[in-house]
Structure 1
Amino acid sequence: MRELVYYVAVSLDGAIAGPDGETDAFLAAGDHMTVLLTEFPETLPAHVADALGIRVTAGRFDTVMMGRDTLRPALEIGVTSPYPHLRQIVATRADGGGFDPDIAVTREPLRTVRELKREPGGDIWLCGGGELAGSLLPEIDRLILKRNPVVLGSGIPLFGESAFEPRTFDLVGTRAFDSGVIIEEYVARR
């Protein structure tokens, strides 16, 4: 069965981005990058892969779900379809117009994820944001956190600020790198 995997960079104080969505404090270089690029090549946006001369190959994910604010930085630089190699879905409460035709829009992300899980295919990558992750917490099967050695002080919490029922995850692996990044993997307890 397909899993919903929340694969995201996070600070030591639990933020996935700064207050205005900035992610430049997260390490984009270091020994952890080799693992990220070999194990999760499909999570590299196509325009970044092109700039680095990297060929994006298939991996564990065939679908990406993200909130509108997660897509916004790409749109601001003219990238209308950051992951053309994946099925792209944007969850938004706002008007769904104006997106690339390759991007599906949902106003009901929980229902959409449940439908996706019943379909054949690879895992579903929950790319962000925090509010979306909080709303999808009942369906998140696995967390893969790229814990960066930085404290942001404020920003977008890993699971947003919406109220949700507590959920327990079991730690199934950690990998520490000289860069200071630690990849933590958790599986939802059933």
Structure 2
Amino acid sequence: MRSIQLFIATSLDGYIARTSGDVDWLFTDQDYGYTEFFEQVDTVLMGRKTYEQVLGFGEYPYHGKKGYVFSKTQQQQQDENVEFVSADWVNFLNQLRHAQGQNIWLVGGSELIRFCLQHGFVDELILSIHPIILGDGIPLIAHDPTLETLLKLQHTKNYETGLLQVTYAIQKQVEK
């Protein structure tokens, strides 16, 4: 079975973007393990808002990877970059995990991350924690009081810039 990995940057206070969606605070001075990670995946998953944000950065950055955008509102089948998934997300993700291939990257956003955690689809979280407190923004995981999940620390790496990269495996979801 293929592994679904969340590889994402976050502020120290748990935001993945400003409320406007802007990520101007992210470090871009070095790779921070991105290239090595990107070579190990062949599929990317993202929510519709994240996809629209990615398109606003210029050229689509995930060429060569199969892309899926999860949206409850967008019904189109595909565009030049991705296919849209608008119904039966659980069945789709189950089939995707059991298909042949490399690891799967859960790019974001917070609603899709919450959904994937809620349904047990995330195997590993790789968080690049930037040394900044934003105070407000789009949370790493959309609020869900039933989502309590135990994690097991796998690896940490710190960089001279103050960025801390932490890798966790999902240990188990706590039943409430």
TM-score when scaled to structure 1? Answer: 0.81
2:7 is the alignment partner of 1:7: yes
Q: Deviations over 1:134-157 (max 9, x none)?
A: 011021000000110011111111
* Structure 1 portions without partners, runs of 5+: 43-58
% of aligned pairs identical?
31
2:92 is the alignment partner of 1:112: yes
Distance across 1 between alignment mates of 2:139 and 2:151:
17
Q: Is the CA contact 1:131–1:162 (under 8 Å) kept in the aligned structure 2?
A: no
Any residues of structure 2 matched to 1:125-140 within 5 Å, and which? Answer: 125-137=105-117, 138-140=120-122
Aligned twin of 1:181: 163
2:14 is the alignment partner of 1:18: no
CA distance 1:129–1:181, shift in 2 (3 Å): same
Q: CA deviation at 1:115?
A: 1.2
Distance across 1 between alignment mates of 2:64 and 2:121:
24
Q: CA deviation at 1:189?
A: 0.9
Distance across 2 between alignment mates of 1:111 and 1:122:
19
Q: CA deviation at 1:166?
A: 1.4
Aligned twin of 1:54: none
Distance across 2 between alignment mates of 1:115 and 1:98:
18
Q: Is the CA contact 1:17–1:155 (under 8 Å) kept in the aligned structure 2?
A: yes
Q: Is the CA contact 1:12–1:148 (under 8 Å) kept in the aligned structure 2?
A: yes
**In angstroms, what is the RMSD of aligned CA positions?**
1.9
TM-score when scaled to structure 2? Answer: 0.87
Distance across 1 between alignment mates of 2:54 and 2:152:
33
Distance across 2 between alignment mates of 1:87 and 1:164:
31
Aligned twin of 1:151: 133
Aligned twin of 2:36: 39
Structure 1 runs of 4+ off > 4 angstroms? none
Q: Is the CA contact 2:110–2:142 (under 8 Å) kept in the aligned structure 1?
A: yes
* Structure 2 portions without partners, runs of 5+: none
- The structure whose residues are more often helix, as a share, is 1
Q: How many residues align?
A: 169
